[in-house]
Structure formats: C-alpha cells, structure tokens
Amino acid sequence: MSSPASSPRELTVGMGAGGLATSDMVLNIGPQHPATHGVLRLRITLDGERITKCEPIVGYMHRGAEKLFEVRDYRQILVLANRHDWLSAFSSEIGVALAVEKMLGMEVPERATWTRTLLSELNRVLNHLMFLGSYPLELGAITPMFYVFREREELQGVMEEIAGGRLHYMFNRVGGLRDDIPAGWLDRAAAAVSLVRSRMPEIESFIVGNPILNARTKGVGVVSREMVEQYGITGPIARASGVDVDLRRDDPYLAYGELFAPGGPGRVITRSEGDSLARLEVLLDQTHVSLDLADACIEVLRSLPQGPVNVKLPKVLKVPEGDGYVATENPLGFNGYYIVSRGEKTPWRLKLRSASFNNMACLGEVMRGQLLADMVAILGSMFFVVGDIDK
C-alpha cells in the first residue's frame, strides 16, 4: 500500500521526547483499488510506526444515490436501493418497500412477510460469510476464503432460484414480492441451511483460538461504548462494544416480533471488549443465529396456506403527501430511508441513512495511537462496504 504518485509522502520535522530530531510522515493509503476495501482513502500521519492522526477521505465512489432516488418512481427506486450495499442487497430493498407501504397504510400478505424475513436472514448469512473469509485473508490467512465461498454458493443457489439474481435480487415489490415461492424451493432452502450449519465448525476451526489471528486482533482497535453513542455506530460493531441494540428485537418489522419474542429463536449477540477480535466473534455467532431464524421461517411457511404474495397496485403509484422514516437492521447496522412526499409518483426528498457511513466515522479516533502494522487489522474489522459510505 504505497502512496499514489499524485500524493507523495510529506515530512515534518519536530523534536522527539529525548531531544532528538524526529520527522512525522504523512502517508496516503488508497484510494487505488484493491489497496484497501474499494476506493477508500486514508490520510495517515505517523510518528515512527505509531499513527498520530488518521483522516478517512470518502467520496471517490459517490454516485448521488439519494438524488437518483428522487427522479424515479417508487417502483423504480428498488432497483437502485440494493446497490449501495451490494452485500446486503435484499435487506436494502426491504427498507424502501416498508417505508412506502407505511406511508400508503398498506397491509402486506402474511406469506410475503415471512418470505421476506427468510430471505433477509439468508442475505445476512451471505454478508457475514463474506467478511468471515475476507478478514482473515487481510491478516494473511487465505484458507478460510475458500471455505466461506463454498458455503456461500449453497445459499446463492437458492437465492438465485427464487429471485433470478445472484447479487442484486430485485425480488421485493411495494406490497409484497414479485413472484410466489417455486415448487419444492422450501425443501431446497432448508437443505442448504442445514448443509451450511454442518460446515460452520470447519470455518470456526480456522478462526476461533487461532494464535496468529488472536495476536493480530485482541486488544487492537478498541471502540468504546461512548464512541458508539457519539458516532451513531450500529450493528455488529456496536454490539461488540457491549451496546445491546438490534432493531429486529427493539423495533420489530416483518416477522421479527414473533421470532424475537421470549422463547423464540431470535437472540442478540454482544461482546464487551470492543476490539477487532470481538467484532469478528460477534459476526461469527450472528451467522448461527441467522441460520436458526431461517429454519424457523421455513417451518412457518410450510404451515401457511396458499395465498397471494403481493398487493395489486394502481398503474401509477402515488404516495400521499407527508413524510415517513423506516429503519431496518441490515447486516452491517441500521439502514434507514426518510421519504418526503408531495403526493406525486416520485419522492420529493429521500434521505438514506447507511450503516457503513456512521460506522466508519469513528475510524480517525480508533486509529489514533495504533501501530501502522495494525492498520489493516483495524480497517478490515469495521466490516464496511464503500458504496454504503459514499452513497
């Protein structure tokens, strides 16, 4: 990770604690891809090997998602909503659909609600598996990546069968889902979930208790509870710092009210250490919870009678004048859509609250005082998607 040619390193001379002349070095990490997680730039000031200042510089991937939303009707917004966080595509679609349905006062068929919940949890497992493989890779361990992609393919297969897409599903519609569940799909989904669960111990064997991984992550990049509150950090990063918050339980949507009820399979995973290792452990445990939730959804869907999975909409869909906000617990944290309508077929204003943007905002404070050698370990443990930062 060298400095770009257009941004050479800068040296400033000062006096060290021992009276010796020292020089601070300013390094530009990125934004060339694949030097870091996508086109993210970090401007780092070093005193020897110690980071004294880290400035995340975002916007190299900015596509103006919010303004693109505002010139498309409510059906078309779903096409773009699954692209700012391409690892949480289905969950991001859900947020828009729920926000519009709330403003319309629309009741969605029960079968659609449970199917949406199932697909959201399968999408969550896909997201977490990607980070469970890529994070050890950044620390020098290549093997877990091969294993997680094997498991991802099992789940991608059932997601592709029902939605037709592998990354951008576009299966949600305002009022429900595009199509009904294919014949025999629930059996294939249950088999895929069971297979992934049976193989999780193999992935854990590379991660849990690994002395090299522990040495690189334990006590490194600590995010305090106060920092979580100050920066609005959510999701696995917040829970790894002991902040017990999860919208699926605290502000239920879809079928999560039943799943997270006492005695249900839903549970919130937390750690208290707040370091890079704790964030990885939360992600690993959450994967097991999502597999349990997926199984519960499959069993409920088996018991439901045949019926509609969507609501018939008018040819031109207009949302009543007013405003509304809906936030969902995306795999990386809170994902919210604030919509202001003037009674037209397009939103007058649409504001996206993405998880990665807030989670990354604390990076400057977390990096301060850390060794340069630990920079990648800290950066990777923040589990972000650049499109979700730049929007």
Has residue 311 been placed in a domain? yes
pLDDT in tens, 250-280: 999 999 999 999 999 999 999 999 999 999 9
Q: Where are the beta strands (DSSP E) in 182-332?
A: 322-330
Reply yes or no on whether the pLDDT at 203 is more than 50: yes
Residues 6 or more apart whose CB falls under 8 angstroms from that of 259 comprise 117, 248, 265, 266, 293, 296, 297
Reply yes or no on whether the pLDDT at 281 is more than 90: yes
Which pLDDT score, from 0 to 100, does residue 30 have?
79
C-alpha to C-alpha distance for 254 and 97, rounded to whole angstroms = 11
Has residue 220 been placed in a domain? yes
Q: Which residue has the higher pLDDT, 375 or 12?
A: 375
Domain holding 289: CATH number?
1.10.645.10
Reply yes or no on whether the pLDDT at 8 is more than 60: no
Q: Among candidates 88, 50, 81, 66, which has minimal Cα distance to 340?
A: 66
**CA neighbours closer than 13 Å in the CB half-sphere of residue 183:** 0
Reply yes or no on whether the pLDDT at 11 is more than 90: no
What's the rounded mean pLDDT across residues 32-40?
65
| Average of per-residue pLDDT values in the chain | 91
Has residue 1 been placed in a domain? no
Has residue 39 been placed in a domain? no
pLDDT in tens, 163-201: 998 889 999 999 999 999 999 999 999 999 999 999 999
Binned at pLDDT 50, 70 and 90, residue 6 comes out as: very low
Domain span at 249: 65-390
Domain count of the fold of the chain: 1
What's the rounded mean pLDDT across residues 239-257?
97
**Total Cβ atoms within 10 A of residue 104:** 19
Residue 341, strand partner residues: 322
Has residue 25 been placed in a domain? no
Identity of the highest mean pLDDT range in 28-32, 59-63, 136-140, 355-359: 355-359
Residues 6 or more apart whose CB falls under 8 angstroms from that of 379 comprise 36, 37, 42, 363
Angle (CA) 311-312-313 rounded to 5° is 110
Has residue 21 been placed in a domain? no
Has residue 168 been placed in a domain? yes
Which pLDDT score, from 0 to 100, does residue 350 have?
96
Binned at pLDDT 50, 70 and 90, residue 46 comes out as: very high
